[in-house]
């Protein structure tokens, strides 16, 4: 603390003020060493030592700035902290003038009259500590010292620690509030909440401070006093909507049944088996497995390794579903293009040796690369899904957005080609009519499967009620009915499939009747044999 105590005597020369501020910026090294040697034994001792150091640094820096012979901004920086000091000598230039100080990404906006105290001179100091947050971390948080509007837990420091002072010895109330902008250390998601806090001698408190804006990367705080400040993030206890939960479970159960029936139809119904039905089959299998795993494993957060595996497999299955949907769009495009050029070779080359490596290989590569880059990106405290923090969700949203965009281009070109062909040929041509119907079905499928996930983009915390609830219901309903759509459109509304269903039902009915007849005949024969045996027995008795 020796360098800080020098300033309290007053330093008139501007150069000496600069040197003193630099010594203050360098003083954190000695403080950190002392903390690591002795104060870590007891949290309370650490807190008291930190409080003493913070008060001394703020007082020393303010005295240095106030005693400058000239006005203006002076900035000093070290490996431990950044100090920006503003000295005012000739009063505020305009009414309601806002003075802005900045240290790297953190800023402080304060009214000029607060700095001068209504007079013509004054000083304000803004300090950013680069590593103090590792000492005064989230363990110095007590819910008793926080005013909370909702249930929060798992508090963590999520910004640099900063200090601001205009010379007030304690947390004096300001005539006008001061605003601070903090840059987050880690991006926060929907399940996290930002809190503006200040260092209250031994713990972090949020009295007199509130959040006026925050997003994933920064928080703006407004405080009615000056002190040492930081941003806390805490986990929000999310309330589940029982109606949405019921819709999810009932809808997914129905969707699973429909996907199973659709897969069996594509697999066993020989008259419709072709490249298109092979694509439908793989899409149905991927969605069936994804929905089944989602229904049974999305909330299994323990053990952590299992949760990460579930999240990774879900990531893979949903990406695989979109990849097969992309292949459907590509196959349709090639088919319709061949109608235009009277060439049927390129669609014929759309073979399984090309389909399966792309359909299942590309999602595997994406998931493998994502897991290698950020293995912590899978699994959250509440659900076994992709962690939306640090932009990792883009490993899912990026590929599906690309598939939706590419398929929209494919279908637009397909419809344009079909329009030209239908205007030049008889509309009763079955091949063109069937292709057109398949195209419209694929477009509807794209909107149901793709746009349902697009609704999820708008489920951000910035969207307020009741719009947020409407989007949540639309997102849930469209997602759980995907299997119902596939079975309805590609099976029940297909004439060939309906005819096969009728044949299957008739064969089952005939088999049942045959079994009943056989059973009846066997029973009758048994009764006749029993009667004959009884009659033969009676005759034997009579003869005796």
Residue 43 maps to which CATH number?
2.60.220.50
Q: Average pLDDT, stretch 230-245?
A: 78
Q: Would residue 35 count as lying in a domain?
A: yes
Most confident of 63-67, 188-192, 342-346, 426-430: 63-67
Domain boundary, last residue among 192, 207, 236 = 236
Confidence of residue 533 (pLDDT cuts 50, 70, 90): low
Q: Are residues 230 and 353 in the same domain?
A: no
Position 543 scores a pLDDT of 43
Q: Are residues 432 and 492 in the same domain?
A: yes
Give the structural domain span for 119: 2-141+149-236
The answer to whether residues 433 and 339 touch, using CB atoms and an 8 Å cutoff, is no
Summarised one tens digit per residue, pLDDT across range 68-80 is 888 888 888 888 8
The answer to whether residues 295 and 253 touch, using CB atoms and an 8 Å cutoff, is yes
- Cα atoms in the Cβ-side hemisphere of radius 13 Å centred on 243: 6
- In total, the chain counts a number of residues equal to 544
Confidence of residue 442 (pLDDT cuts 50, 70, 90): low
Q: Cα(411)–Cα(330) distance, rounded to whole angstroms?
A: 9
- How many other C-beta atoms are found inside a 10 Å radius of the C-beta of residue 103? 20
Residue 426 class from Cβ within 10 Å (0-12 exposed, 13-18 middle, 19+ buried)? exposed
Summarised one tens digit per residue, pLDDT across range 41-51 is 577 888 888 88
Q: Are residues 196 and 282 in the same domain?
A: no
Most confident of 282-286, 298-302, 426-430, 509-513: 282-286
Position 519 scores a pLDDT of 53
Confidence of residue 534 (pLDDT cuts 50, 70, 90): low
Q: Would residue 453 count as lying in a domain?
A: yes
Summarised one tens digit per residue, pLDDT across range 346-372 is 445 556 667 888 999 999 999 999 989
Q: Cα(483)–Cα(25) distance, rounded to whole angstroms?
A: 63
Domain boundary, last residue among 236, 265, 300 = 236
Q: Would residue 41 count as lying in a domain?
A: yes
More confident position, 118 or 2: 118
Q: Are residues 231 and 246 in the same domain?
A: no
Q: Are residues 198 and 308 in the same domain?
A: no
Summarised one tens digit per residue, pLDDT across range 157-182 is 889 999 999 887 666 788 899 999 99
Stated pTM of the model: 0.58
Q: Judge whether residue 481 has pLDDT over 90.
A: no
The answer to whether residues 450 and 407 touch, using CB atoms and an 8 Å cutoff, is yes
Q: Would residue 526 count as lying in a domain?
A: no
Q: Are residues 256 and 388 in the same domain?
A: yes
Please state, for a pLDDT cut of 70, what percent of the chain lies above it: 73
Which spans in 269-300 are helix H? Answer: 275-297
Q: Average pLDDT, stretch 401-416?
A: 81
Q: Would residue 523 count as lying in a domain?
A: no
Position 269 scores a pLDDT of 81
Q: Would residue 387 count as lying in a domain?
A: yes
Partners of 165 in beta bridges: 125
More confident position, 529 or 297: 297
Total tally of structural domains belonging to the chain: 2
- How many other C-beta atoms are found inside a 10 Å radius of the C-beta of residue 503? 12
Position 124 scores a pLDDT of 92
Residue written as token pair 């930190």: 50
Q: Are residues 249 and 289 in the same domain?
A: yes
More confident position, 469 or 105: 105
Confidence of residue 440 (pLDDT cuts 50, 70, 90): low
């Amino acid at each position: 603390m020796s360098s800080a105590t020098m300033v309290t005597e007053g330093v008139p020369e501007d150069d000496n003020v600069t040197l003193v501020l630099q010594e203050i910026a360098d003083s954190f090294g000695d403080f950190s060493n002392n903390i690591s040697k002795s104060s870590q034994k007891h949290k309370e001792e650490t807190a008291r030592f930190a409080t003493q150091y913070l008060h001394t640094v703020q007082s020393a820096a303010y005295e240095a700035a106030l005693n400058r012979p000239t006005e203006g901004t002076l900035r000093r920086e070290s490996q431990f902290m950044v100090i920006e000091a503003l000295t005012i000598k000739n009063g505020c230039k305009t009414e309601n003038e806002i003075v802005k100080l900045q240290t790297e990404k953190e800023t402080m906006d304060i009214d000029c009259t607060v700095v001068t105290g209504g007079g013509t001179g004054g000083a304000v100091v803004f300090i950013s500590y680069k590593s103090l947050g590792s000492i005064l971390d989230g363990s110095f948080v007590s819910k008793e010292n926080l005013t909370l509007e909702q249930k929060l837990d798992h508090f963590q420091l999520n910004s640099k620690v900063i200090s601001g002072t205009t010379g007030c010895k304690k947390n004096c109330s300001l005539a006008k509030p001061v605003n601070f902008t903090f840059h987050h250390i880690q991006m926060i998601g929907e399940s996290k909440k930002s809190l503006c806090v200040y260092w209250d001698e031994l713990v972090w408190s949020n009295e007199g401070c509130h959040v006026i804006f925050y997003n994933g990367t920064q928080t703006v705080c407004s405080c009615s006093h000056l002190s040492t400040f930081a941003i806390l993030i805490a986990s929000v206890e999310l309330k589940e909507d029982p109606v949405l939960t019921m819709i999810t479970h009932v809808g997914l159960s129905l969707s699973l049944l429909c996907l199973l029936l659709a897969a069996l139809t594509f697999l066993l119904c020989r008259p419709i088996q072709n490249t298109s039905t092979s694509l439908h089959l793989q899409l149905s299998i991927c969605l069936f497995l994804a929905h089944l795993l989602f229904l049974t494993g999305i909330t299994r957060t323990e053990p952590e390794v299992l949760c990460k595996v579930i999240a990774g497999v879900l990531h893979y299955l949903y990406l695989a579903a979109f990849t097969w949907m992309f292949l459907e769009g590509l196959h349709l495009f090639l088919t319709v293009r061949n109608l235009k050029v009277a060439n049927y070779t390129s669609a014929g080359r759309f073979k399984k040796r090309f389909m399966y490596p792309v359909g299942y290989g590309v999602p595997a590569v994406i998931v493998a690369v994502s897991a290698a880059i950020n293995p912590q990106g899978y699994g959250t405290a509440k659900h076994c899904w992709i962690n939306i923090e640090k932009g990792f969700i883009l490993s899912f949203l990026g590929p599906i957005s690309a598939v939706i965009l590419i398929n929209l281009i494919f279908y637009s070109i397909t419809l344009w080609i079909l329009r030209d062909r239908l205007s030049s040929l008889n509309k009763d041509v079955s091949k063109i009519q069937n292709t057109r119907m398949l195209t419209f079905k694929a477009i509807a499928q794209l909107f149901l499967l793709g746009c349902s996930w697009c609704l999820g983009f708008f489920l951000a915390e910035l969207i307020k009620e009741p719009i947020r609830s409407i989007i949540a219901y639309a997102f849930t309903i469209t997602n759980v009915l995907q299997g119902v759509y596939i079975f309805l459109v590609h099976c029940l509304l297909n004439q060939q499939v309906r005819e096969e269903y009728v044949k299957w039902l008739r064969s089952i009915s005939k088999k049942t009747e045959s079994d009943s007849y056989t059973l009846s005949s066997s029973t009758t024969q048994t009764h006749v044999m029993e009667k004959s045996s009884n009659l033969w027995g009676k005759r034997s008795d009579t003869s005796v």
